[in-house]
Structure 1
Amino acid sequence: MQGIFRRRNLPHWDVPGHPVFITGCLRGCFSATGLKQIDEYREELECRSKPAKFSADQWEHHKQKLFFAFVDNLLDNDSPVQHLADDEQAKIVANAFLHFANERYKLLAFVVMPSHHHWLFRVNEDWADMEIARLKLLGKQDRTPREIISHSVQSFTATMCNRSRGVEETYWQQETFDHWARTEDEAIRIVHYIENNPVKAGLCAVAEDYGWSSAKIRHDLKISESQPIPKIVLP
């Protein structure tokens, strides 16, 4: 496996050619109790012994999935901040994902939930090569393509959503949760996870009824789960 690994408070892998699954959370989206539960669960996972059936890499991958599922459950059920329940702000974020579809990346799935968002994309390697070369010429190349794309979306949506709210404050939590899909089958499972998140959270009965998700676009345009979402603008 080749790629770039970085760790701040959370681990970040960048592996060229593979889809990346990103979750961005609103600042303050975890209660004090939720933060305590996250820390305790993280410590408990680190103390678990590796089962014989897993390699070291597979075990780390599995623990990341368990940790993410735990965090996502808190986001769906115990979040004190839910700015994105407002349709205007949700539309801003959804359209930001769609804006560079088929240009900077293949957009495979997305959903905007009340306290967070999920999206899955595969970086356009031709765009990435040109962007990295441009930044090197400017002496600014210190970000991976995934970081460039994510930062662009988070920065733009923070500005526009705060403008919609009439405030100037930090909108997103500083770090995103990210995870790369090792196989196409895993990518399809992530598409299902993302698009069914509103159903799991009790926001709708079927995925395509939720307005701020690729599931509705996929249903309306009759796009299969393995096909990318085209660049459109949500009204």
Structure 2
Amino acid sequence: MMIGELFDPQAPLAISEHYRPHWSQAGAIVFITFRTADSIPYEVLQRWEREKNEWIARNTGRNADWRKVLPELDPRLRHQFKKTFNRLREDFLDTCNGKCVLRQPDFASIVADSLSHFDGKRYRLGDFIVMPNHVHLLASFPSEETMIGQCDSWLHYTAWKINQQLGNKGKFWQQEPFDHLVRSPEQYQYLCNYIRDNGTKANLRSGDFLYRQHDNHQ
């Protein structure tokens, strides 16, 4: 059983250009990724920016910032662009750069407990995994506002709690999570499998990540 509805392109949709999750729809299942602030070095992010612009130039003949061109692309090309660079990001995260604080079970549990705390009250939580430097989860929310507010709450609370225990101050998470609205049962199952297999795919030992499966899988 799925934890919510599939994305409906005909239904009302909230889109924010300045705050993630960028796309949100009441009741729709969303795949969300949080990453720690040190998980991707600045020089890697800069290289990806160059590669995105080069991809746009190569595939469209336009020498322009990819952010301006992407919304105007044919859906097939737009999907190809996103798939290419989403894969780059996910593969790099799985190399476990940065301090990887969440490798420690006590800190991973802070994140897991925060995600589960209001499950069934403010949102419906699906499968999730806490990796050494990032988190993947599936969830559905009753409204667009609830979704944005809850993501902000998760990030602020867990950062405060972990920094408190580490004796640190400053930024813990990269503030804007990545999000994707689920569009089909097949995609939902693919993402469940992706979350389940993420630790193994990254060649981690069982104690280096924390995986929880939603109770109502078929």
TM-score range, shorter chain: 0.7 to 0.9
The C-alpha deviation readout for 1:89-135, integer Å capped at 9, x for no partner, is 11100111111111122211111111111111011x2xx4xxxxxxx
Amino acid at match of 2:31: F
Cα 1:26–1:210 shift into 2, 3 Å: closer
In structure 2, the partner of 1:119 is 137
Cα 1:74–1:60 shift into 2, 3 Å: same
Deviation of residue 211 (structure 1)?
A: 5.4
Cα 1:93–1:48 shift into 2, 3 Å: farther
- 1:145 pairs with 2:146: yes
Deviation of residue 40 (structure 1)?
A: 2.9
In structure 1, the partner of 2:27 is 17
Partner Cα separation in structure 2 for residue 214 and residue 45 of structure 1: 37
1:77–1:201 contact (8 Å) kept in structure 2 = yes
In structure 2, the partner of 1:63 is 81
2:21–2:148 contact (8 Å) kept in structure 1 = no
In structure 2, the partner of 1:81 is 99
In structure 2, the partner of 1:97 is 115
Cα 1:120–1:58 shift into 2, 3 Å: farther
Unaligned runs of 5+ in 1: 129-142, 227-235
- 1:39 pairs with 2:31: no
- Which deviates further from its counterpart, 75-84 or 19-28? 75-84
Q: So what's the TM-score if we normalise by structure 2? A: 0.79
In structure 2, the partner of 1:189 is 190
2:122–2:146 contact (8 Å) kept in structure 1 = no
Amino acid at match of 1:213: Y
Partner Cα separation in structure 2 for residue 36 and residue 27 of structure 1: 15
Deviation of residue 191 (structure 1)?
A: 1.1
Partner Cα separation in structure 1 for residue 55 and residue 138 of structure 2: 25
Indicate the SS of the match to 2:16: strand
Indicate the SS of the match to 2:114: helix
In structure 2, the partner of 1:172 is 173
Deviation of residue 200 (structure 1)?
A: 0.7
Amino acid at match of 2:202: A
In structure 2, the partner of 1:214 is 212
% identity of equivalent residues: 27
Deviation of residue 58 (structure 1)?
A: 5.0
Partner Cα separation in structure 2 for residue 182 and residue 43 of structure 1: 27
Indicate the SS of the match to 1:225: coil
Deviation of residue 144 (structure 1)?
A: 2.5
Moved over 4 A (4+): none
Unaligned runs of 5+ in 2: 1-8, 61-72
Partner Cα separation in structure 2 for residue 9 and residue 70 of structure 1: 22
Partner Cα separation in structure 2 for residue 151 and residue 9 of structure 1: 10
Pairs aligned (count): 196
Deviation of residue 48 (structure 1)?
A: 5.5
Partner Cα separation in structure 2 for residue 167 and residue 210 of structure 1: 22
In structure 2, the partner of 1:231 is none
In structure 2, the partner of 1:160 is 161
Cα 1:172–1:211 shift into 2, 3 Å: closer
Partner Cα separation in structure 2 for residue 189 and residue 48 of structure 1: 30
Cα 1:83–1:144 shift into 2, 3 Å: same
The C-alpha deviation readout for 1:125-165, integer Å capped at 9, x for no partner, is 2xx4xxxxxxxxxxxxxx73221110111111011111111
